[in-house]
Structure 1
Amino acid sequence: MDTPMDDDMMREVAECLGNNDAPRAVSKIQKYLEDLDKIPLNMAITGESGSGKSTFVNVFRGIDNKDERAAPTGCVETTIESKEYPHPNYPNVKLWDLPGIGTTNFPANQYLRHVGFEKFDFFIIVSADRFRENDAKLAQEIKKMGKKFYFVRSKIDNSLRDEERSQRDFNAERTLQKMRENCISGLVNQGVESPQVFLISNFDLHLYDFHKLQETMERDLPSHKRNALLFSLPSVSLGIISKKKDAFHSKIKYQALLSAAVAAAPVPGLSFAVDVGILVGVIRGYKLGFGLDHQSLEKLAQSAKMSLGDLQAVIKSDLASNEISKELVIKLLSMSASGAALMAVEEGARFIPIFGIAVAMGFSFMSTYRYLSSALDMLANDAQNVLKKALAQDTSL
């Protein structure tokens, strides 16, 4: 859905092009796209020592606990002051590891001022077993401040294993429902109205309630911040992959408009060179966002207890199988009948009197839009195939 900011940018670009000021139009579109990538999202993660909050910060960012960029983890409280951890691929998205309120000398209202509550978009309160009085008081103060908060009951996989050992007639679904109800009733008894509790395993995010947490956070965020959340989410479900695809697709019209604005400059060959640069940058972003880069695939293969080659075997597109480069994009464009034809017509249109530049702009927009849409379809399909393969290999993944 277009926003007033979208409409304003479009009007300004149209005005620039109407005045034959293509460089200014290009500059405005570039700034708009850069601003979209810089929309900040700050998530506050808090909980008592040993609750798994630091591990949650790391897993959400796709980082192993042993990574030098990881939030420190341990059974004792390792977080003394608020510490920000930017997402490695989307630095505009930051997870803040906050000290547990029970480890500070501040009451709930002073605690929020101490950690700088105003900069956070929402709070996630983590517990490894049950939520305590401090958690409830913190939630009530967050609500007074007009912020959203979510309760996450972590280490569900450990709890289920413990329950299975102790019960004769163990039933996983019944046990999960009992855990959820116990958490909710405990919070209600401590004065929290309609608490939202999500059961999560930090190491198996595709299981249990992570998808519900993702959907709730997405729904509660203002529209201009939703894509920032979606891009940063680990691709642990087909639903997330599908939503990421939609989020990526929403930007294609602006990327194609940038291509068209460059085509307005009467310089032979410039449009093609810039278009290739646009395609390379955007497609690299798709590949990284879907977790199809080499590092992400290696990590997924390790988690699924399978070889990297087994995952790579279900990848169909050359874009996912190879390093994205200008040479690869040019090769694939030349192999595409429609792509090659549109590029040829665009360059030829420049020599048409009076209307040539306008025609070239139209073809430039169309070719960029079509190719990015096609690339997005292929990479999204590859991401889905890779995830299905991983899930089929190891049901604990």
Structure 2
Amino acid sequence: MLLILFTIISAVEKTEIKEALEKNDQNLAVAKIQEYLDKDQNVPLNIAVTGECGSGKSSFVNAIRGIDNKDEKAAPTGCVETTMEVTPYPHPNHPNVIFSDLPGIGTNNYPAAKYLKMVGFEKFDFFIIISADRFRENDLKLAKEIRKMEKKFYFVRSKIDHNIRDEKISQREFNEERTLTQIRNNCIQGLQDQGLQSPQVFLVSSFDLKLYDFPLLVETLKEELPELQKDAFLLVMPNISLDMIKEKKKTFKAKVKYWAMLSAAGAGVPVPGVSVAVDIALLVSVVTTYVLGFGLDIPSLKRMANYSGVPYEELKKVIMSTLAAVKVTPELLMRLLAQFSSLALLLAAEEGTRFIPILGIPAAVGLSFTFTYRSLNMILDMIADDAERVFTRVALQTQYF
């Protein structure tokens, strides 16, 4: 098991962990494995949101971060240009993912010809170009320059809810799908007329991301981003559907075996208590990531309550596990796992077998892997089920109103 583990760790990290194991230093062993775990969970992703002033960039940045426009951490919004310089807005739960609100292209301070250089295009992984009506010449110039730099860009037509509302009032026989098709085709035709081949335009309402084309935008990004960035992007997305929650669960589940192997490294330390300390420290870290990824931490639930109109206490009522809407601690996890006799026996056996000559350490490694693997899968099921219950409660409120 340790041989398999060390084949996926870099030479530097392998040396550091090996040295910690050889020193029989419990704190150092735990710290090094935790450091490696943190690195895996903090893949940087910097997303640029740009367009002409008044296009709804700031509202989009707030919505995709799950933040209301009135929140103290929100990007300022308004009917005039409110973004005067490149302003980074980290995701509240995942600061490694940053949505940068860029100044409007084509303004006096940011002329189109110098725009990309002035905003520092090289630090962004991809660009979202937003317009509230037709995409204009400056948007097209920007797209072509981004393409020259061999980076991705995506056209987003914002404020679709405003268009739908206006059309309902003005048309005698309103058809939403027909209206959406007309808006989309109009945007695509405008870009083609300016020389852009096969453009794709996503229709989005920052007021309600689950409507229109936002799910398709997420799906497109998932397909086109590198694997690690794809996971980072997916886990910061708001829970706009049950399918989104299932996708997050799938992403977490794919990493469980790796986390269990990392935990098993601690079982190779021939010092009493180190293996269990590593197991529990890793569980706390990963379970906290589960809670944050599904938006079940206290700040996220409160933001959701403000955003949806469902009282915070009502959201808490549908949560069944003891790990959501609380701070995850070693004590809390131990109390939960003690309720499952098979897991408690595994943990006890892991610590006991290390005292058996020759075969004890290899046996402890295997038991550590099994304990962590089963625990993480079980807890993931619990947290994902809670996320589905919270989403359903919010969806009922939205449908009601």
Structure 1 length normalisation: TM-score?
0.91
Mapped contact 2:21–2:29 kept (Cα < 8 A): no
Mapped contact 1:77–1:103 kept (Cα < 8 A): no
Alpha-carbon deviations, 1:117-159, whole Å to 9, x = none? 1111111111111111111111111112111111111111111
Aligned counterpart for 1:178 among listed residues 161, 177, 182: 182
Percent sequence identity over matched residues? 56
Which residues in structure 2 correspond to 1:1-397 (within 5 Å)?
A: 7-9=7-9, 13=14, 21=22, 29-104=33-108, 108-320=112-324, 322-395=326-399
- Structure 1: distance between partners of 2:224 and 2:312: 37
Give the root-mean-square deviation of aligned CA atoms: 2.6
- Structure 2: distance between partners of 1:306 and 1:28: 42
Alpha-carbon deviations, 1:215-236, whole Å to 9, x = none? 1112111122111111221122
Alpha-carbon deviations, 1:149-179, whole Å to 9, x = none? 1111111111100000000100111111111
CA positional deviation for 1:47: 1.4
- Structure 1: distance between partners of 2:203 and 2:44: 27
- The total of aligned residue pairs comes to 393
Alpha-carbon deviations, 1:51-84, whole Å to 9, x = none? 1101111222222223332222111111222121
Residues 1:94 and 1:16: Cα distance change in structure 2 (over 3 Å): closer
- Structure 2: distance between partners of 1:258 and 1:99: 43
- Structure 2: distance between partners of 1:92 and 1:167: 46
- Structure 1: distance between partners of 2:43 and 2:297: 24
CA positional deviation for 1:27: 6.6
User: In structure 2, what residue type is equivalent to 1:223?
Assistant: E
Residues 1:62 and 1:129: Cα distance change in structure 2 (over 3 Å): same
- Structure 2: distance between partners of 1:344 and 1:46: 55
User: In structure 2, what residue type is equivalent to 1:157?
Assistant: D
The runs of 4+ residues in structure 1 deviating greater than 6 Å are: 14-20, 22-28
User: In structure 1, what residue type is equivalent to 2:299?
Assistant: Q
Equivalent position SS for 2:399: coil
Structure 2 length normalisation: TM-score?
0.90
- Structure 1: distance between partners of 2:124 and 2:339: 48
Mapped contact 1:43–1:120 kept (Cα < 8 A): yes
Residues 1:98 and 1:321: Cα distance change in structure 2 (over 3 Å): closer
- Structure 1: distance between partners of 2:195 and 2:398: 41
Residues 1:109 and 1:122: Cα distance change in structure 2 (over 3 Å): farther
Alpha-carbon deviations, 1:286-341, whole Å to 9, x = none? 11110112222233233333333433333222222654222221111111111111
- Structure 1: distance between partners of 2:215 and 2:288: 26
- Structure 2: distance between partners of 1:191 and 1:39: 36
Residues 1:19 and 1:228: Cα distance change in structure 2 (over 3 Å): closer
Residues 1:322 and 1:204: Cα distance change in structure 2 (over 3 Å): same
Structure 1's unaligned 5+ residue stretches are none
Out of 103-112 and 65-74, give the one that drifted further. Answer: 103-112
Structure 2's unaligned 5+ residue stretches are none
